[in-house]
Amino acid sequence: MFIPKRVIFEKGALDYPLGQELYTRFTQDPKVEIFEAATNRVKTHIPGDDLSQMYRHGKQTLVVGIKKSLKFQSCKPSAHYQLPLVSGCMGQCEYCYLNTQLGDKPFVRVHVNVDEILAQAEKYAQERLPHKTIFEGAATSDSLAVEPLTHSLAKCITYFGERDYTRFRFVSKYNDVDGLLDLKHNGHTEIRFSLNTPYIINTYEHATASSKLRIEASSKVSRSGYPVGFIIAPVFMYPNWKEEYHDLLVNLKHELPEKPPHPIIFEVISHRYTLRAKNRITQIFPETSLPMTEEERSFKYGQFGYGKYVYPKEQLADMKAFFTKELDDLFPYKDVKYII
């Protein structure tokens, strides 16, 4: 669970019950600094003299605000709309794509007007009838890490569970699922966990849950009847990678129910980086050991006009063959979306 060092309440947030609840909670904690600020003054309360310090202080900051613009972003191809419950994430993954998206002080922002957000979701869903509308709850955030504070996912899961024409999905590197286990979700919410080997998590995914805790959480939600998926990413081909990814998948198989209620969904994505991301990462994590040597990679044009560096074709083919076989051997009831 996210335990911030400072909490900034934006103007108007205290007019909502969730804003009040968070205010009461954090003002009772002497270890947490509290500020009230206008939206455009939030960053002035986050210290830091250089990019690395600003990053770390930003990651320890919770902003409690209102989602004013209720125009949802599209979220193709995995969903129709992003559901804007939270933005930012307390995790400090060295390779995270959000490093280039969230500015110099990447704070976590929770929105307290969840009822208004859900009312807007309803409007979008009504417009698409008779088709089902899928909402993604973790497009620019990891909502699960703040769930014990906000209970917003629980509210959304129950809301979408009551509607045949809506579906909800989110992904996480955390394990705060206990408040979700007894909800009436009706199988309308798909919960995915991002997984990696203990070596990769310990080396690059700072301030996230261990693979053991994520796997335990996935087992709990699967046993509560949720559709469950795993994003194994980013896959790094380091010495021993096959043994360690094999062990990870074997552990997963042993923890999941023998007969899961839905096929287990898998997405497997190899590591790739852009030069823009590399520049940013090396400023925030000057000592990083992330493998980002252009000479060892192939260059591929991306869909948004900038290129990325991927593993060479032969290594990707080897990775694909490895995961195809492992998943086939271990998980008879599955849905492999892609291995790329």
Among the listed residues 42, 54, 89, 232, the single contact to ligand SF4 using CB under 6 A: 89
- Complex with ligand SF4: residue 158 or 203, whichever CB lies closer: 203
What element of type H or E holds 124? helix 114-128
Is residue 98 part of the contact set for ligand SF4 (CB under 6 A)? Answer: yes
Q: How far apart are the C-alpha atoms of 97 and 72, rounded to whole Å?
A: 20
Q: Strand, helix or coil at 262?
A: coil
- Complex with ligand SF4: residue 146 or 310, whichever CB lies closer: 146
Stretch that binds ligand SF4, among 73-81, 86-94, 110-118, 155-163 (CB under 6 A): 86-94
User: Is the separation of the CB atoms in 83 and 155 below 8 Å?
Assistant: no
Interstrand relation of 61-65 and 205-206 (parallel, antiparallel or unpaired): unpaired
Interstrand relation of 92-93 and 81-82 (parallel, antiparallel or unpaired): unpaired
Residues 46-65 that bind ligand SF4 (CB under 6 A): none
Residues 241-280 that bind ligand SF4 (CB under 6 A): none
Residues 207-226 that bind ligand SF4 (CB under 6 A): 208
Is residue 190 part of the contact set for ligand SF4 (CB under 6 A)? Answer: no
The distance of closest approach from Cβ of residue 142 to ligand SF4 in the complex, given in angstroms and rounded to an integer, is 5
- Complex with ligand SF4: residue 208 or 219, whichever CB lies closer: 208
Q: Which of 316, 299, 317, 319 is nearest to 308 (CA)?
A: 299
Is residue 233 part of the contact set for ligand SF4 (CB under 6 A)? Answer: no
User: Is the separation of the CB atoms in 105 and 46 below 8 Å?
Assistant: yes
Q: How far apart are the C-alpha atoms of 247 and 53, rounded to whole Å?
A: 36
Q: How far apart are the C-alpha atoms of 77 and 225, rounded to whole Å?
A: 25
Among the listed residues 56, 105, 111, 173, the single contact to ligand SF4 using CB under 6 A: 173
- Complex with ligand SF4: residue 90 or 265, whichever CB lies closer: 90
Residues that bind ligand SF4 (CB under 6 A): 89, 91, 93, 96, 98, 142, 173, 205, 208
